[in-house]
Chain A
């Protein structure tokens, strides 16, 4: 866990240090003078040896103080928290609904195992997940938002409730259309793998009904990979979806990343990348603990 985090820090540091061009040139803009560049370099610590620069970066991470954005001069850590909240408002709904709907549908698909309708479901899923997210978003926004005016085309407000009830339903709906198919297919595989186990035959032999076998025995065992999948999606919730936030003008972290990449705003990109990696580690740890609770046979190293 810690070595991985060190790796991410090194990757991000050296990527931006050696491939990212001269930050002073980005910052000074069009009025390039030698004095100005030297001043900026001194301010950013770029005149120090590489190892000192790396230590500055590590210190920034440990204190969660990534300095200020190069383009908006906003404090980066405040920016992370504020934008992260916005992304989470949309993504938490997607995450929650996706988990419930796809597990439900997967159970139904597992009931229908081997039948024509089951092949149909998987076929539709393959087709649905092949189509690009962009098409769902562009077409969905056009018809549901613009043409039929069922939802606002785009926008965001200061109030949490207005956002949840007015601005987020359409993005949430479109994201679900994209995310359910792959989850459903994956969970169905987990369930069917469990259905082929010996204990299912034993349970049936003891006289357990179809529903009892599926809901009590199979679902409980299949819960482990399913829960992993659901829990590992949590870190991604904070960045949200780049496309969705861009298209619907949602001021979340995803849109911030796109803006930052566009403006070569390195502190913001670095901060977001490293924070996301840290959250992934935490999610990993959480999943391991969850395993132990779900399946007492699991031994933690």
Chain B
């Protein structure tokens, strides 16, 4: 009886929230942007696009199509002329490879089908080893987003379970969990993350685990205070009176009533974990270097900037910033839609 009542009310609540969300133009625009990112990330995860992100498809630092005139010794703007490198007797005398040139040319002719022509122009340019920046950005986005999502699921799961126990039972359980919470929050977050990654090593799985294990504290606090509010409400008392077990009351009765807050928390954590992953990878403790993420791209980019190759930074920065900014605005709208009474922070 009470279950039915809860179900119909919460269904209408979600529909109302959905309508509020759709009515918000900011949410509509940001939602579309996020949907595009997710589709691209899924396509890249299934290998349909950006599969060859690690292949040499262009010349070193191939120019992007929007800046074809940037100087590039291996591109169309090269100042090195073919006729400048004629092999005469003098160069043959000092060039140890000179006797082999004819052989090389012959091999090149016979294996012409196997030789890949390196592109001099790529849609968003190329990096040092001639990789396509567009493919790199897509693959990096897929990995960064996947890490953010996975880590926030773990963190929110830990936070909800611990928060539920602490808030619902109170007393000794609460004291013990509050102690754990205080321990985790007394060390600055990024230092804690680094301490964990010092002992756990590197790798995508480790990054997810480290971020999840250290990032649950905010959710824990929020869920705990909600459970303290809810545990004495009539519907919980009623469930208790008909003999529902503690776990049933915690996770079947109270949890649906705080699920909107969990959703908000989840989307907030995704943003902070993506940012944390970028910093970790940049410092060299995140994604291993044979993989790619937005953080690794930014750390690659520093040496390129000095020689004037800005396009990798431009595409990576744009892709990352658009995603994170859209996600932040979407989270704000989501909070307004799901939790209209709360004030914006």
A residues in contact (CB < 8 Å) with B: 3-5, 7-8, 11-12, 15-16, 19-21, 122, 126-127, 129-135, 138-139, 142, 146, 185-186, 189, 192-193, 235-236, 239, 242-243, 246-247, 257-258, 260-262, 264, 266, 269, 272-273, 276-277, 280-281
Contact = CB atoms under 8 A, between A and B. Distances in A.
Contact of A132 (B187, B196, B320): B320
A181 to B, nearest CB: 11
Nearest to A16: B199
A239 B183 contact: no
B186 interface: yes
30 contacts: A3-B182, A4-B186, A7-B179, A8-B183, A11-B183, A16-B199, A127-B325, A130-B271, A130-B325, A132-B320, A132-B321, A132-B324, A133-B279, A134-B295, A138-B301, A142-B305, A242-B279, A242-B283, A246-B283, A247-B302, A257-B191, A257-B194, A258-B283, A258-B284, A260-B198, A261-B194, A261-B197, A261-B198, A269-B195, A280-B188
B191 A272 contact: yes
Contacts of A130: 271, 321, 324-325, 327-328
Contacts, number: 125
Interface residues of B, number: 46
Contacts of A19: 199-200
Contact of B186 (A257, A269, A277): A277
B187 A8 contact: yes
B344 interface: yes
Contact of B198 (A131, A235, A269): A269
Contacts of B179: 3-4, 7
Interface of B: 179-180, 182-184, 186-188, 190-192, 194-200, 271, 275, 278-279, 282-285, 294-295, 298, 301-302, 305-306, 313, 317, 320-321, 324-325, 327-329, 332, 343-345
Contacts of B199: 15-16, 19-21
Given A139-B317, A142-B305, 4 more contacts: A3-B182, A7-B183, A126-B325, A261-B195
A240 to B, nearest CB: 10
B345 A242 contact: no
Contacts of A264: 198
B186 A280 contact: yes
Contact of A135 (B194, B320, B345): B320
A269 B194 contact: yes
Contacts of A239: 188, 191
Contacts of A134: 278-279, 282, 295, 298
Contacts of B283: 242-243, 246, 258
Given A126-B332, A242-B194, A131 B186 contact: no
Nearest to A265: B198
Contacts of B321: 130-132, 135
A134 B305 CA distance: 14
Contact of B284 (A132, A262, A277): A262
A266 B198 contact: yes
A295 B96 CA distance: 84
A131 B316 CA distance: 12
Nearest to A11: B183
Contacts of A127: 325, 328-329
Contacts of A146: 305-306
Contacts of B343: 189, 192-193
Given A7-B179, A7-B180, A264-B198, A132 B279 contact: yes
B345 A185 contact: yes
Nearest to A261: B198
Contacts of A139: 313, 317
A12 B186 contact: no
B201 to A, nearest CB: 9
A298 B328 CA distance: 36
